[in-house]
Amino acid sequence: MNAQKRISARVVKIWLDVSLVLGGIFWCLLLLWLLLSPLVMSGSSTSADGVVQVAIGSGSLRPVLSLSGTGSGSARIDSLRVVDGRGELRFKTTTWWLHFVGAVTMLVGTFAVLFVIYILRKIVVTVTAGRPFTVANVRRIRLIGFLLLVGGVVIPLAEYLVARIILGQIISEGITLSPPFDLNGGVILGGLLILVLATVFEYGVRLESDQSLTI
């Protein structure tokens, strides 16, 4: 590996280190804040903020909200609808678990991202050492692929369940809100791509082994 590539691998490693430390601090503070919030909230009327992703209208996959409107001119408005509208519902609550459950997906999602960064860092370390084609790296790449594949399904499902629980507790008047279910196609496709890449990498490991044992 030439010097330029080695330097760029080191820069990536430093960037991953910084992301891991900052992300770790953020995750710990988030957990601490969530765990300490019942102490702050109990016995007083102090309310805490909560955020939940919502869809406007009824139906989960493609929610529709019918609106009424009048128009003039050469064309007449037949119907007016908001289709697939996504939004964010911010609320204040004195109930601790309602405040907690809203942040659970963020807590789990951040942990998964930190874990992926940790695995990536390990791969970059082997790249800087000049021996990236190892069986351990195949396992690591495959793990990232599976995590993305599972994350692309599980996180939207968790967000849907959390939004369902919270919306069950909040009475919204004047607007119909639904728990959204957005499968993350990009993440799932990325996961599949990485799994294919892991298989190609496995072939590279075999070639490397053959090459190093050819005298």
- Footprint of other proteins on residues 101-120 (CB under 8 A)? none
Asked if 159 and 184 count as a contact pair (C-beta separation under 8 A), the reply is no
**Least CB distance from residue 215 to other proteins, whole Å?**
5
Is residue 214 near other proteins by the rule CB under 8 A?
yes
Question: Is residue 12 exposed (0-12), middle (13-18) or buried (19+ Cβ within 10 Å)?
Answer: middle
Nearer to other proteins, 3 or 213 (CB): 213
At residue 129, the 3 state secondary structure works out as coil
Residue 134 backbone dihedrals phi, psi, to 5 degrees: -125, 160
Is residue 171 near other proteins by the rule CB under 8 A?
no
**Least CB distance from residue 208 to other proteins, whole Å?**
12
**Least CB distance from residue 211 to other proteins, whole Å?**
9
Asked if 113 and 147 count as a contact pair (C-beta separation under 8 A), the reply is no
Is residue 209 near other proteins by the rule CB under 8 A?
yes
Asked if 15 and 120 count as a contact pair (C-beta separation under 8 A), the reply is no
Instruction: Report DSSP state, residue 58.
Output: B
Stretch that binds other proteins, among 42-50, 133-141, 169-177, 205-213 (CB under 8 A): 205-213
Is residue 199 near other proteins by the rule CB under 8 A?
no
What does the angle CA 28 – CA 26 – CA 190 come to, to the nearest 5 degrees?
110
> How many residues in total does the chain contain?
215
Is residue 215 near other proteins by the rule CB under 8 A?
yes
Stretch that binds other proteins, among 9-17, 124-132, 150-158, 207-215 (CB under 8 A): 207-215
| Residues of the shown chain interacting with other proteins in the complex, contacts defined by CB under 8 A | 209-210, 213-215
